[in-house]
Each structure stands twice: as structure tokens, then as C-alpha cells.
């Protein structure tokens, strides 16, 4: 079975694409897993550190080819604010509830949750059901390296 031991962030390489795998947002935080490719083939993902994969990232195979990661379309709510200040207010409420959110300049996308929809409409947002790829923002404590960095200062 072919193995993946390295990944490259989207747009950083022009490797030959030998296949693709489509994963929902909650399936893209991985270290070791058997992946079922679109063509029916399987590869073993075996990374040294867990990574949070995004749409367009490449998984490098031990045979020199690459697998492209595709974000699955998911059932979401599209949240449209009155203005940019309102967008910030809505994002604050969602973040206060620790909800995964894809925050853009004119809208916010979240997973469908009817209780949250009611809260958002009560706050004046327009909320519409959509089906799209979902790439929520990474948390403030997300690390690309997986280890503790040397901050060059003392911790008291």
C-alpha cells in the first residue's frame, strides 16, 4: 500500500497529482489514517505530527506522486450582516460559543444549528441555508509545527 509521509500547503508546489481525497472539515485534522481516494484506491496517511488539512493541500506519496485534498461540500448557514461592524458583533457571539466559523469580509459560514440560527436572526442577521466547502478558521492555539516554540523570554 502506498504511504503518505509529507504534506504541502495549497499553492506551495507543482507536484504531479495522482488522485484526490474529499474530506469534511472535521475529517481533515489527521496524523495517521487509511484514506479512501476518489478513484477507489487507498493510501495510508502516516505523518510525524498531526496536521489540519485545507482544500488544495497536497499529500506526498512514497512513489513520488501527490494526492490533492478537497474539502467536501457541507450543509451550512450563510450569515449576512447589516454592515461590517455587525459582522464583527456576530463573529464575537459565534466565537463566544466556540463554534467553527469561516469568516469572510461580507459573510460568515457555520454548520447548521437551528438554535444558533434563531439567535443570529434575533441579532438582525440574514441567515440562509447553503451547501458549500467549509474551511473554518484555525484556533488561536493552532500550531503549524506541532511543538513548543522558543519565545526568547522567561515564563514567570
Residue 54: name the closest of 32, 65, 70, 67 by CA: 70
Identify the pLDDT of residue 11.
87
Query: Which pTM does this prediction carry?
Result: 0.82
In total, the chain counts a number of residues equal to 156
Give the per-residue pLDDT at 148: 34
Question: What integer best gives the mean pLDDT of the chain?
Answer: 90
pLDDT band at 54 (very low <50, low <70, confident <90, very high): very high
Residue 91: partners with Cβ closer than 8 Å, 6 or more residues away: 101, 103, 108
Pairing of strands 126-133, 73-80: antiparallel
Residue 141 has pLDDT above 90, yes or no: no
Domains, in order of start, for the chain: 3-70 (2.60.260.20), 73-133 (3.30.70.790)
pLDDT digits (tens, 9 = 90+) for 65-115: 999 999 999 999 999 999 999 999 999 999 999 999 999 999 999 999 999
Residue 154's pLDDT is 43
- pLDDT of 46 reads 95
Q: What string of DSSP letters covers the chain?
A: --EEEEEE-TTS--PPEEEEEEE-GGG-EEEEEEEE-TTS-EEEEEEEEEEE--TT-EEEETTS-EEEEEEPEEEEEEEE-SSHHHHHHHHHHHHHTT--EEE-SS-EEEE--HHHHHHHHHTT-EEEEEEEE--PPPPTT--SSSS----SS---
Residue 150 has pLDDT above 50, yes or no: no
Residue pLDDT, tens place only, 80-89: 999 999 999 9
Amino acid at each position: 500500500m502506498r504511504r503518505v509521509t509529507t504534506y504541502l500547503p495549497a499553492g506551495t508546489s507543482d507536484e504531479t497529482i495522482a488522485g484526490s481525497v474529499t474530506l469534511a472539515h472535521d475529517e481533515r485534522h489527521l496524523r495517521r489514517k487509511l484514506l479512501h481516494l476518489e478513484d477507489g484506491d487507498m493510501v495510508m496517511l502516516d505523518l510525524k505530527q498531526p496536521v489540519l488539512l485545507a482544500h488544495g493541500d497536497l499529500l506526498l506519496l512514497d512513489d513520488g506522486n501527490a494526492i490533492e485534498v478537497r474539502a467536501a461540500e457541507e450543509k451550512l448557514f450563510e450569515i449576512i450582516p447589516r454592515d461590517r461592524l455587525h459582522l464583527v458583533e456576530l463573529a464575537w457571539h459565534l466565537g463566544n460559543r466556540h463554534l467553527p466559523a469561516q469568516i469572510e469580509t461580507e459573510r460568515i459560514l457555520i454548520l447548521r444549528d437551528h438554535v444558533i440560527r434563531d439567535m443570529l436572526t434575533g441579532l438582525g442577521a440574514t441567515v440562509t441555508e447553503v451547501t458549500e466547502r467549509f474551511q473554518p478558521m484555525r484556533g488561536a492555539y493552532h500550531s503549524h509545527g506541532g511543538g513548543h516554540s522558543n519565545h526568547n523570554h522567561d515564563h514567570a
